[in-house]
Structure 1
């Protein structure tokens, strides 16, 4: 699983995914696979659709 970016200054590291080709069915399917993988692994994730506003960059507290 290769994310677009990994923020290594957070503990644990945070994955950043930029969803840029949402009009393609194969891309949407791959996006879903990645989201499921990140959920299973408990990976912190920031998502951004570059056609919209920048995402909120405040990460949730982990408990």
Structure 2
């Protein structure tokens, strides 16, 4: 899997986590775990964006 594929996969998971946060909020729950996962995915994407692409 190249860097672009990894970024796309992370972005997809971020979208899923945003939906999980929204679902928890709509159900009247605090989305603590979902937000932690979302933050971790955002950090992972930032690392991918700042690291040079390996060939």
Q: Normalised by the shorter chain, which TM-score bucket?
A: 0.3 to 0.5
Bigger relative CO (Cα 8 Å, ≥ 6 apart): 2
Relative to its length, the structure with more helix (as a share) is 2
TM-score scaled by structure 1? Answer: 0.35
**Larger Rg: 1 or 2?**
2
